[in-house]
């Protein structure tokens, strides 16, 4: 039974005082109930995978289809690129709240929908290319024990990346974009990423170094406390997860001492592009520096939303003024086309501190969209496909 057919319609045919043929105005305005093109499909009995309606239904990233990637079943609908939420914020040293980041970023992505996503600059639609892109929902993470939560996230990441991809001629392994979560979550993601791709260069967009020696942040309290959102890159280096061709971008926060932190940072495999470097070399100069540094290595891009100035991203745990604009960050990210992105994340989004205009979650969603586009533009084969 199609309810819409039962609704009485009144066509207003009176224009300019005379009865004539003009645009029919229908009451009630049934077209507004479900968008535009989707009405015929609904009346015909249902929507296809890529005909999701905006502002309706349970919110996935960019209104993508949801797949139960963490199902105990062997067979789930295959995919090539997956969004995975990591609701975790007990590794933060600043304002908590990033456990609500995945939901916030999805909220910020409501305006995106695969059928209406042709890029204004390239005229490409990265949702409509070779890859099947889906949202896995969130990894279930305990909020009572950091170590256990990171193990849970690592295991979820392994399950999601362990499924056979949809386009196996391109890559047998799907790639993941994590929606964080505080920055500690990147450590769990890196541990899983190296299983398929080997050690990676990290392009780390952040106002902070995040390579702090656990001895100086938290480790003096307990080994457990030394694993946090300021030390995870130090730990990733110690664990051999990252290459010595890694790079920070957007750095401006202070260190705890004159020399040690900076030397330690280099020892962890990083060089630095500061926030103010953009004033000298522009976005293209930043892109060139990043590409030169990473060369041909597999790359994990981690975007701490605090790389943006708090004017553009107030909703984060450890905001630092003097950062990049959203447009600058997006120009840099989109300029990294043709690098081999094997994993990525957007982290440190704490929606409770956002403003009514939702500037932070809007920015974070578009950052995630850009990361997804980089993955679509440059397919990368995992180690096992090259063996």
Residue ranges that bind Mn ion, judged by CB under 5 A: 183, 206, 210, 304
Residue 99 or residue 183: which is nearer to Mn ion going by CB? 183
Residue among 209 and 294 whose Cβ is closer to Mn ion: 209
Query: Of the candidates 128, 10, 8, 113, which has an alpha carbon nearest to the alpha carbon of residue 55?
Result: 113
If the CB atoms of residues 137 and 323 are measured against Mn ion, the closer one turns out to be: 323
Question: Min. distance of Cβ 316 from Mn ion in angstroms?
Answer: 9
* Separation in Å, CA 30 to CA 6, 39, 48, 367: 12, 8, 20, 34
Closest of 300, 342, 372, 382 to residue 128, by C-alpha: 372
CB of 304 to Mn ion, least distance (A): 4
With respect to Mn ion, which residue has the nearer C-beta, 265 or 304? 304
- C-alpha–C-alpha distance, residues 229 and 17, integer Å: 68
Q: How far apart are CA 172 and CA 380, in angstroms?
A: 10
SS (H, E, C) 64-82: CCECCCCCCCCCCCCCCEE
Cα–Cα distances in Å, from 67 out to 3, 53, 79, 303, 310? 30, 17, 9, 25, 34
Q: Which is nearer to Mn ion, 218 or 382 (CB)?
A: 218
Q: CB of 139 within 8 A of CB of 86?
A: yes
Task: Report in angstroms how near the CB of residue 318 gets to Mn ion at its nearest.
Answer: 7
Sequence-ordered list of residues with C-beta below 8 angstroms from that of 224, at least 6 positions apart, any chain: 146, 147
What does DSSP assign to residue 351? G
Query: What's the min distance (Å) between Cβ of 307 and Mn ion?
Result: 8
Rounded least distance, CB 348 to Mn ion, Å: 6
- Provide the token pair at 302: 């981690």
Q: Shortest Cβ distance from residue 378 to Mn ion (Å)?
A: 25
Nearest to Mn ion of 304, 354 (CB atom):
304
Beta strands in the chain (DSSP E): 14-15, 18-19, 81-86, 133-138, 175-180, 201-205, 246-251, 270-274, 299-304, 341-347
Cα 291 to Cα 48, 154, 296, 355, distances in angstroms = 39, 28, 9, 35
User: Residue 294 or 305: which CB sits closer to Mn ion?
Assistant: 305
In the bound complex, what is the minimum distance in angstroms from residue 187's beta carbon to Mn ion? 11
User: Which residue do the tokens 């990147």 mark?
Assistant: 186
Cis link prior to 181 (omega < 30° from 0)? yes
Question: Nearer to Mn ion by C-beta: 210 or 354?
Answer: 210
Q: Closest separation between CB of residue 317 and Mn ion, Å?
A: 8
């Amino acid at each position: 039974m199609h309810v819409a057919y039962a609704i009485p319609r009144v066509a207003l045919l009176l224009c300019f005082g005379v009865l004539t043929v003009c645009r029919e105005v229908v009451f009630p305005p049934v077209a507004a109930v479900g968008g535009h093109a989707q009405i015929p499909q609904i009346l015909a009995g249902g929507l296809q995978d890529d005909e999701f309606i905006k502002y309706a239904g349970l919110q996935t990233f960019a209104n993508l289809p949801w797949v139960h990637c963490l199902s105990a079943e062997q067979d789930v609908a295959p995919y090539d690129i997956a969004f995975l939420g990591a609701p975790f914020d007990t590794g933060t040293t600043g304002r908590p709240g990033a456990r609500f980041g995945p939901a916030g970023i999805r909220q910020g992505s409501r305006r995106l929908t695969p059928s209406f996503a042709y890029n204004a600059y390239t005229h490409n639609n990265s949702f409509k290319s070779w890859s099947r892109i889906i949202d896995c929902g969130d990894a279930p993470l305990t909020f009572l024990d950091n170590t256990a939560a990171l193990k849970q996230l690592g295991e979820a990441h392994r399950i999601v990346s362990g499924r056979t991809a949809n386009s196996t001629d391109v890559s047998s392994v799907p790639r993941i974009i994590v929606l964080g979560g505080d920055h500690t979550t990147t450590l769990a993601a890196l541990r899983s990423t190296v299983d398929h791709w080997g050690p990676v260069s990290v392009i780390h967009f952040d106002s902070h170094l995040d390579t702090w020696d656990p001895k100086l942040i938290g480790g003096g309290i307990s080994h457990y406390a030394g694993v946090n959102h300021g030390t995870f890159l130090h730990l990733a280096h110690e664990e051999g997860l990252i290459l010595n061709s890694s790079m920070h971008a957007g750095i401006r926060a202070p260190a705890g001492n004159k020399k040690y932190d900076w030397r330690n940072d280099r020892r962890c495999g990083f060089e630095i592009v500061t926030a103010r470097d953009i004033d000298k070399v522009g976005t293209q100069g930043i892109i060139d520096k990043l590409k030169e540094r990473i060369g041909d290595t597999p790359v994990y891009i981690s975007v701490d939303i605090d790389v943006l100035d708090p004017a553009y991203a107030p909703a984060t745990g450890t905001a630092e003024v003097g950062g990049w604009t959203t447009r600058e960050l997006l120009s840099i990210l989109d300029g990294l086309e043709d690098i081999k992105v094997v994993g990525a994340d957007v982290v440190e989004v704490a929606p409770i501190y956002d403003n009514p205009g939702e500037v932070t979650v809007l920015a974070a969603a578009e950052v995630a969209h850009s990361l997804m586009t980089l993955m679509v533009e440059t397919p990368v084969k995992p180690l096992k496909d090259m063996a």
